[in-house]
Amino acid sequence: MRKSVAKAATPTNLPRTEREASSVRARAPRPRFKRMTIADVAEVAALEARVFPDPWSADSFLAEVERKPDIGYPVVMRDGSDLVAYAVVWFVVDEIHIGNVAVSPDEQGRGLGASLLTHVLEEGRRRGMVWATLEVRPSNVRALALYERFGFEKIAVRKRYYANDREDAWVLACTLERRPERRVG
Ligand SMILES: CC(C)(COP(=O)(O)OP(=O)(O)OC[C@H]1O[C@@H](n2cnc3c(N)ncnc32)[C@H](O)[C@@H]1OP(=O)(O)O)[C@@H](O)C(=O)NCCC(=O)NCCS
């Protein structure tokens, strides 16, 4: 992955005009969302193990797939047949809790995380949820930047939350009454 990033950064590989840039964007794949099924679980667990130092097991994802649809929404994002991202969210009374979200390392920084977050928050709004919460490591600057852009704010700290290294978790929340992702410009 580092190699292809370095190659893309050389001047000869950069789009030279706005028209070329928009044609590059137009050719960019448009991933699709689908509720996670048993058939996705092994692939999701393999991606999870690539992106997290303390990954959920395949059994954890299986439990999410088998959870009642009115309580949980595990979702995969595919570009053709390739798994590029996934999320697991839960609906608790009027709150959507984001339990897991990840984008394939090869696809990060292309807007897929924002697209996935938009999708699950829209699903929450559709089901009448009025606020969203999640836990994040304070060291995870990329995730924090994404969540802040959507209007999430820190509301609490869970001390030594993560089992593998005892890093704290920040609890972030945002209201869904308006579309938070459009408030930030
Ligand atoms: C966090 C994660 C889901 C973000 O997904 P992504 O597809 O990489 O993010 P996007 O391309 O949609 O970028 C959204 C925002 O993230 C931030 N961002 C993206 N790349 C970044 C980088 N290299 N450094 C800092 N911030 C960055 C920017 O604020 C960006 O907004 P912008 O496009 O207006 O600049 C993804 O990086 C990931 O899966 N990380 C590993 C797993 C993880 O940490 N999950 C979250 C656990 S709480």
| Confidence tier at 97 by pLDDT (50, 70, 90) | very high
pLDDT at 163 over 50: yes
pLDDT at residue 178, rounded to an integer: 56
Q: How far is the CA of 142 from the centre of ligand 1 (A)?
A: 4
* pLDDT at position 31: 81
Distance between CA 90 and CA 74 in Å, rounded? Answer: 8
147 is catalytic: yes
* Integer Cα distance of 154 and 169 in angstroms: 10
User: What's residue 87's pLDDT?
Assistant: 98
Inform me whether the pLDDT recorded for 121 exceeds 70. yes
Mean pLDDT score, 103-124: 96
pLDDT band, very low/low/confident/very high, at 88 (cuts 50, 70, 90) = very high
Q: How far is the CA of 108 from the centre of ligand 1 (A)?
A: 6
Q: Which of 66, 86, 135, 148 is catalytic?
A: 135
**Predicted confidence band of residue 179 (pLDDT cuts 50, 70, 90):** low
Identify the CA nearest to 124 among candidates 78, 74, 89: 89
Indicate whether residue 99 lines ligand 1 (CB < 6 A): no
Q: What is the pLDDT of residue 12?
A: 37
How far apart are the CA of 183 and the centre of ligand 1, in A? 18
CATH class of segment(s) 31-183:
alpha beta
Q: How far is the CA of 143 from the centre of ligand 1 (A)?
A: 5
Q: What is the pLDDT of residue 177?
A: 73
Q: Quote the percentage of the chain above a pLDDT of 90.
A: 78
- Of 64, 73, 86, 147, which is the active-site residue? 147
Indicate the pTM of the whole model: 0.83
Can you give the pLDDT at residue 30?
75
Provide the pLDDT for residue 4.
31
pLDDT at 15: 43
Output the 3-class SS for the chain: CHHHHHHHCCHHHCCCCHHHHHHHHHHCCCCEEEECCHHHHHHHHHHHHHHCCCCCCHHHHHHHHHCCCCCEEEEEEEECCEEEEEEEEEEECCEEEEEEEEECHHHCCCCHHHHHHHHHHHHHHHCCCCEEEEEECCCCHHHHHHHHHCCCEEEEEECCCCCCCCCCEEEEEEECCCCHHHHCC
Ligand 1: which atom is nearest the Cα of residue 110? 11
pLDDT of residue 1 exceeding 90? no
- 51 close to ligand 1 (CB < 6 Angstrom): yes
